[in-house]
Structure 1
């Protein structure tokens, strides 16, 4: 969950003059949670569906509406800057989307540089999937001049001084020898050329999505900035730029548009055109429950949520949505905002009028048998979340990434996808418990999710069993014996074949099929590859298996 930290004084400077205790009691009513606080500052968690609240300026804007201090759609004026950015067609296959804005009259005194950097990083993983979809650069505009260029540069040129570095480096050297470059190299290292943003004198602003140049580093006396947002998802890039610009505008920053020159078109950014959706009075009262709100009541609540609203008739309203509210996808999202402004604690609770008779699912009956079998073989059960990350599921397991279900608004950077295997969860468990005595024998019974174009929701849920053993003499013979025992005790006949599973040592891994009158299972087992063991910072051999049940 993204956490932002700010001082009470910061909120007071933005127009919220409230005692600490009252503030702490009121903030959770705005769909947030108090993480920690002291006499000077407070840490607040916001759900990732509200990235506009990941800055103190955004919090103040929402808070003013909630308290009725300012209501309705915030109005932000955008003037042309006259600045141009030329976009190279070579970037279409590398990192195709970019948006720019210039903001004048900013204030970076005190803690404000730290705040904007935290805001930037929160947006990187809430919207940007750890810079894969979106990367943001904020630059001191007073040390550079346009027109600017977004180009694809060779790996070995030009050399420039990356942020927080003492020596110039080529793009290739940054990916290999710079701490930040090594961390994000996987985003672009497969390409022959790398993205670069330069000014008219060929000075480097940034190498997206990796790192900014030291030249445009923000300082306390910086008053004019340029914001660039690049990425692989045009909508996410546009949303990120709008959120940042609106946040600066809340504290007096003057937003200036910039023109992006492509081969066949010119685009002006940012675009602050509001979205328009309708909301219905009957559905609002039905979903909230226990209310009898009129169209006038709903209009007032919408304005407190910082929307504009026009009453079309007594049953329907037109809602004008600000450009920074990227979470509004459906009418129910608008109703959620109405509920928050109504005060959700004021909604009367009641039991639903539903009567059901339950019975145990057959799979869970079988699961009990599997659990007893594994415990009988000396294994200890592990239960982990279905959420994982591409880093843990694929890269650290030395697996090629396949199509998978992604989380649209991840709460944490470690929960960006639904797992397709159980093995990395077991490896993470061993990593967290490497201080415990050996041998360690663990197993998990759980669900994974595959993409499936033939199903109604385009996904297929599959049941799996995985086991893992770690000790100094763990080997192929031991895991083969374990799997044979599991499969035979479950009533299947096992047939073994060669495997190319890259998480395991070549020649010490096998695939298998199990068949019985009750159905079919498939799976694999073997010795985990040394590079995978190293990725999880383990020091002893690891053997593992995974079984997929065909229900």
Structure 2
């Protein structure tokens, strides 16, 4: 999870004068963990649903409310400017959305420049999905002039000096020769043109989402900046800009809005208008449990959470939520903030007023049988996380990417989606254990999640069983024998057919279907292709299967 480092003096400079021991004991009570500390600085880990707390200014703002030092909705003035950015329609297919702001009177002295760079990179991870969804650029405003242009340029045009370099490079050269270009080239590899931000005189500010230009490099002497945020999700782009602008405003930065001119519309950014949601007293008391709060109590707790509110009646309040609080999606999120401010440790624990007789679910009884059969066939069970990433799940397996459940604010870049298959997790296990003796025979029983518009939640869960075998002579006949024995022992019929599954060697893979009194199954088995095996840095043949169970209702 994101960890930020700051000095105790930084909090004092922001108006919080608290002894170190008290600070260390209090910070975890507002949904954070202390990673490490010494006599001068502290490392704090925040959950990724609170990206506004990934800067020391954001921490100070939240902490002031928590200790009742400064409460209510922070109000930041946004002054209109005559500056604008013109968006070329051709960039829509590459990286279609952009938001701009100018901030005057910033201070980058001391450690502040390092802090803002760390803040920027943390936002790239938490909101930006490692720049795929959102990328941020911060520029010296005094060396460029508006109007700015956001364009799609041919690969070999508009050469510029990239950050930390001293010779001009074309966009294509940056992607193949610059360190950042090589690291993030995959974000633009499907396009024949690349995005650039230019000023009125065609000077390059940046090549999103890869690298800024050396021209607008930030140093301690810079006082006025331009912030650009580009991406593939308009809502996330604007949210990210709101968080950055609010953080600078906490330390006296003067925010100036800029007009973004698309071909079919024009918008002004940033928009720091609070969102509004209603919260109910009975819902809050019910969800928290062990409390008997009234409307006035809740209004005070909301104020400490840095919200404003109006009491509509004894059971309902209208809540005004700051624009940087992008984690508030539902009434329950507001209640969570009430609970945090009430202090979870003060909530009285109590047993539920129900009694039940427990029994094992039918699925878990069948799962126990599967486990017994697989162990009898010589396999060892593993348990992996449901969270994975698109590269391992699709690209390394040579699979076409399908609609899947994405993690809005992933903790790490290798946990960005919920799996639709178990196979890649098993391959990763083999990769991590290739130093162990062969043969290796592993299996997993677990849940996967599919997108399904017919469901109330828009997702559908399903149970799967998968297994892999790795040794020097692993072949199709061996895995077919395993699947046949497995299904016979589980009481399923078996019908196989040709398969075009790209993860496997053509002609050495089959689809399988089966039925029983308990429901039906579908799946596949075969020999993995050398490319897939190489993608997971394995040295020996791998065979495997995956079966999905659809029990009778």
Shorter-chain TM range is: over 0.9
Alignment of 1:523-534 (within 5 A): 523-534=523-534
Q: Which residue of 1 aligns with 2:351?
A: 351
Paired residue secondary structure (2:103): strand
Give the deviation of 1:512 after TM superposition. Answer: 2.1
Looking at structure 1, the residues matched to 20 and 89 of structure 2 have their Cα atoms a distance apart, in angstroms, of: 53
**Residue aligned with 2:355, SS:** coil
Q: In the superposition, relative to structure 1, how do residues 80 and 458 fare at CA in structure 2: closer, same or farther (>3 Å)?
A: closer
Measure how far apart 1:255 and its partner are. 0.9
Tell me the number of residue pairs that the alignment of Structure 1 and Structure 2 aligns.
Answer: 551
Q: 1:100 to 1:362 in 2, by over 3 A?
A: same
CA distance in 2, matches of 1:183, 1:396: 17
Question: In structure 2, what is the equivalent of residue 280 of structure 1?
Answer: 280
Q: CA deviation at 1:549?
A: 1.6
Match for residue 540 of structure 1? 540
1:310-321 to structure 2, matched below 5 A, reads 310-321=310-321
- Answer yes or no: is 1:387 the counterpart of 2:387: yes
Instruction: Work out the CA distance in 2 between the residues paired with 1:115 and 1:496.
Output: 59
Name structure 1 gaps, 5 residues minimum.
none
Query: For residue 79 of structure 1, what is the aligned residue in structure 2?
Result: 79
Q: For 1:127 and 1:238, locate their aligned partners in 2 and report how far apart those are by CA, in whole Å.
A: 11
Q: How does 1:367-446 map to 2 (within 5 A)?
A: 367-446=367-446
Question: Helix, strand or coil for the counterpart of 1:256?
Answer: strand
Q: Identify the range of structure 1 (241-250 vs 107-116) with the bigger mean alpha-carbon deviation.
A: 107-116
* TM-score, normalised via structure 2 length: 0.95
Of 381-390 and 183-192, deviating more is 183-192
Change (3 A) 1:510 1:282: closer
- Equivalence for 2:44: 44
Partner SS for 1:161:
coil
Which one is further off, 82-91 or 493-502? Answer: 493-502
1:249 offset after TM fit, Å? 0.9
- State the SS of the aligned residue for 1:236: helix
SS of 1:228's equivalent?
strand
- Report SS of the residue matched to 1:511: strand
Change (3 A) 1:53 1:510: same
1:387-411 Cα distance to aligned partner (Å, 9 max, x none): 1111221122221100111223333
Q: Does structure 1 residue 67 correspond to structure 2 residue 67?
A: yes
Aligned pair 1:89/2:89, yes or no?
yes
Partners of 1:22 and 1:543 lie apart in 2 by 57
Q: Report SS of the residue matched to 1:367.
A: helix
CA-based RMSD: 1.9
Moved more, 57-66 or 153-162: 153-162
Question: What does residue 160 of structure 1 align with?
Answer: 160
Corresponding residue number in structure 1 for 2:504 = 504
Greater displacement, 182-191 / 43-52: 182-191
**Alpha-carbon distance in structure 2 between the residues aligned to 1:531 and 1:183:** 22
Q: In 1, distance between residues paired with 2:294 and 2:455? A: 41
Structure 1 residue 79: deviation in Å? 1.5
Q: Is structure 2 residue 196 aligned with structure 1 residue 196?
A: yes
Q: Quote how far apart the aligned CAs of 1:348 are.
A: 0.9
For the pair 1:454 / 2:454, whether they are aligned, the reply is yes
Q: Distance in 1 between matches of 2:459 and 2:264?
A: 39
What TM-score, normalized by structure 1, do the two folds share? 0.95
**Structure 2 SS opposite 1:467:** strand
SS, match of residue 359 in structure 1:
coil
1:21 matched to 2:12: no
With 86-95 and 279-288 compared, the bigger mean Cα shift is at 279-288
Q: Helix, strand or coil: the match of 1:227?
A: strand
Structure 1 residues 334-349: aligned runs within 5 Å: 334-349=334-349
Residue 303 and residue 216 in structure 1: after superposition, are their counterparts in 2 closer, same or farther (change >3 A)?
A: same
Residues 5 and 534 (structure 1), Cα distance of their counterparts in 2 relative to 1, 3 Å cut = farther
| CA 1:162–1:482: 2 relative to 1, 3 Å | farther
Aligned residue in 2 for 1:140: 140
Which SS does the other structure have where 2:276 is aligned?
strand
Task: Compute the displacement of 1:167 (Å).
Answer: 4.4
